[in-house]
Amino acid sequence: MKSPLIFALCVMSTVAAVSAQAQTYQWKDKNGRTVISDTPPPNSAKSSQVSDAAPAAPAATTTEAPKTLAEKDMEFRKRQQEAKDKAEKEAKEQAAAAEKRENCERARRNLAALESSQPLASIDENGQRKSMDNGMRQQEIERARQFIIETCK
């Protein structure tokens, strides 16, 4: 039981010791970017600097490495999805605005019909036509006006 544990600890300590002894190289490439690597610089590098310590964080003045094709593709797909989401949101907003305008227009036509002197009828719960008297007409006019005030802002 203790043998595998001791073996694992030995392997881990060996790996840690080897990685701590690894050399890091820092140089400027032909584009002027600082490169930090565990492999020696190519012969075309402007200057090289060998360090036995672990690699430090790149300086704030260095530029990012060129993006890989996969990273560019991922960013492109993300931009496409954002554009699609934006277009869908705008389409929904336009549909909602059109529906609101249509409801307002319908409510205004209903109010105009109620305020006219023409006889009106409503359908009761049994499906029978029932003519509106002046009291019912006034109630419906007030409801229509209230609906227009709330909806047609």
Q: Identify the pLDDT of residue 63.
A: 63
d(CA 73, CA 67): 10
Q: What is the mean pLDDT of residues 116-136?
A: 84
CB 42 within 8 A of CB 30: no
Q: Identify the pLDDT of residue 93.
A: 96
Q: Identify the pLDDT of residue 61.
A: 52
Q: What is the pLDDT of residues 53-99, one digit of tens each?
A: 444 555 545 566 788 888 899 999 999 999 999 999 999 999 999 99
| pTM of full prediction above 0.85 | no
Bridging pattern class, strands 48-51 and 121-123? unpaired
DSSP string for residues in 81-139? HHHHHHHHHHHHHHHHHHHHHHHHHHHHHHHHHHHSSS--EEE-TTS-EEE--HHHHHH
Which residues is 34 bridged to in the sheet?
28
